[in-house]
Each structure stands twice: as C-alpha cells, then as structure tokens.
C-alpha cells in the first residue's frame, strides 16, 4: 500500500469555537493551483506558494485556481446557454463556482487546525510534535505534504507546526501518516 496524498484540509479550531476562517481573496492571473495548496499574498492577491514552501503563507486554497486572464477580473462562463423561451436568461449549472476574480482561502490563522500527510516513509512520533516544518508538492498528485527531513524546533521560518497524529490514518511507513497542524503566528502574513 503506497501513500496517497490528499489535499490539505481545514478540520477545526484549537479553541473549539466556531469554524475555520475562510475568505474570498483577490486571485492573481493564470493561477492553476489545486484545492488544498498553500497560498501566499503578493501584490494584493493570492498565488500558489513556491515548492517547497518554507515561507510565510496566508493559508490554503479552499477551491482550485481559476486561471483568470487578468487578476481580480470576473469572467463570464457560468452559462450553459439560454433557457427555452427566455433569450436574455442564463442557465447556471448546479454547483458552478463563483466567478468574481477571487479565490476562497482557509486563512492560516493560529487558531485554525489543518490536516495533511507526512512525507512518504515517515511516521508520526512524539519527537516531531510542536516542531515546525516546510511543505513540498508531490509530483504525481500535485498535493502538498509535510517534509519531516527539513525542520526542527529551532527552524521558526518553516510554515507549519505539528500538533498531533490523525488517529484515523494508518501511521505506518507503507500507509503514511496524516497529522494535524497549525500555521504559526510568525508565518501567517494575512490581515
């Protein structure tokens, strides 16, 4: 059984009060990131973080990038054509994403708890709890995972801090280990 990376997910809050904070933030043009990828704030808009990312991030994409022609510019395209006998009407597919030039982002505020997998071959131990690590992108799936080989308690520049293991994950070398983590206050640049 091989590790199957999944999108990073916002799963709750440390305080247990409310839900993870999500905002629609202006999106840069030509962004094709996947849901769950770390995002940075640059020039007034969000864009995909570098791979590997150990820089300050604003949060994680709640939806895929929209590949906009121009930043913060709504694009037409919801319509599947006009309904019968209504030439000025539009038919919008159920579940169509909002095309307003913005992207939904789960903000990496220190209270929000996220879930992601560790590097293939790594397992959760108490030794990594509380340490900070960077994230890297899997070449096959395009999803990000936490790199245990790059990080320690002393490396405050890294963007995620391990909280605990997800008890529903295999936590084995073959099956992988999913962990809960936060974005430390010093890494979060959002306002």
Residue 191 domain flag: no
Is residue 69 situated within a structural domain? Answer: yes
Residue 36 lies in a domain: yes
| Residue range of the domain that includes 79 | 9-182
DSSP per position, 64-84: -----SSTT------B--PPT
Q: Is 110 inside any structural domain?
A: yes
pLDDT by residue, tens only, the chain of 191 residues: 567 899 999 999 999 888 999 999 999 999 999 999 999 888 888 999 888 776 678 899 999 988 888 887 776 665 555 667 777 776 666 766 667 888 999 999 889 999 999 988 888 999 999 888 888 899 999 999 998 876 654 454 567 889 999 998 888 887 889 999 998 865 554 44
Whether 152 maps to a domain, the answer reads yes
> In whole angstroms, what is the distance from residue 74 CA to residue 50 CA?
25
Number of domains the chain is built from: 1
Q: Is residue 2 part of a domain?
A: no
Residue 190, domain member (yes or no): no
In a domain, 139, yes or no: yes
């Amino acid at each position: 059984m091989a590790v199957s990376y999944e999108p990073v997910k916002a799963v709750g809050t440390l305080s247990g009060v409310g839900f993870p904070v999500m905002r629609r933030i202006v999106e840069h043009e030509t962004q094709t990131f996947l849901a769950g990828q770390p995002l940075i704030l640059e020039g007034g808009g969000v864009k995909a973080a570098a791979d590997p990312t150990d820089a300050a991030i604003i949060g994680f994409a709640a939806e895929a990038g929209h590949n906009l022609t121009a930043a913060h510019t709504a694009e037409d395209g919801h319509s599947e054509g006009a309904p019968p006998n209504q030439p000025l009407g539009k038919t919008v597919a159920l579940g169509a994403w909002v095309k307003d030039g913005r992207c939904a982002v789960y903000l990496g505020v220190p209270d929000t708890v996220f879930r992601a997998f560790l590097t293939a071959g790594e397992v959760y131990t108490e030794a990594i709890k509380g340490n900070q690590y960077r994230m890297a992108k899997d070449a096959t799936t395009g999803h990000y995972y936490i790199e245990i080989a790059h990080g320690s308690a002393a490396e405050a520049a890294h963007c995620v801090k391990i909280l605990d293991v997800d008890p529903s994950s295999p936590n084995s070398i073959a099956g992988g280990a999913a962990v809960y983590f936060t974005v430390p206050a010093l890494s979060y640049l959002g306002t």
